[in-house]
Amino acid sequence: MGAAESVPARFRVGDRVRVRGADPPGHLRTPWYCRGHVGTIERLCGAFANPEELAYNRPGLPAQPLYRVRFQATELWPDYREHARDVVEIEIFQHWLERAAE
């Protein structure tokens, strides 16, 4: 994909990021349970067309960087009793992420 057709990646592995608490209507692939929560970039998967736009048969370009973000289970679920080191890893598009305060 040409450089003009994808947004540059802003985040690197290890960066702390917060999922924006946005709540628009439409087809979204950022699950409700991670919104507003802070995680760590685990890897950059590449840049892909935005599914929110593809859902309306639009091209979804420029492609958005897609990351896997690792969340501590205890961060996602305040009453998580199972195991302190468990994690949930979720693919999230860059436009849903903002840098978290350290």
Partner 1 sequence: MRGMHDLGGLEAGRCERDEHEYEQWEKRVDALMMLLSARDRDLMKVDELRRNIESLGADAYDRMGYYERWMHSIAQTLIQRGVITIDELGRKLAEQEARDGRG
Partner 2 sequence: MSAATSDTAGYYRRMQAAVEELLILKGIVTPEDVQRQVDAMDARNYKRGAKMVARAWSDPAYQARMLANGSAAAEELGLEVGPLKLIVVENTPGVHNVIVCTLCSCYPRMLLGIPPEWYKSRAYRSRVVREPRAVLAEFGTRLPEDVDIRVHDSTADMRYMVLPLRPRGTDGWDEERLAALVTRDSLIGVARLPDQG
Cα separation, 98 vs 80, in Å, equals 25
Which residues of the shown chain bind partner 2 in the complex (CB under 8 A)? Answer: 29-31, 33, 45-46, 48, 51, 66, 68, 73, 76-77, 80, 82-83, 85-93
* By the rule CB under 8 A, 48 interacts with partner 1: no
Q: Which of 54, 61, 87, 100 binds partner 1 (CB under 8 A)?
A: 54
Q: Which of 1, 22, 33, 86 binds partner 1 (CB under 8 A)?
A: 33
Residue 65: which H helix or E strand, with range? strand 64-72
Cα separation, 66 vs 43, in Å, equals 9
Largest CA distance in the chain: 47
Q: Give the interface with partner 1 as residue ranges (CB under 8 A).
A: 23, 25-28, 31-34, 51, 54-57, 76-77
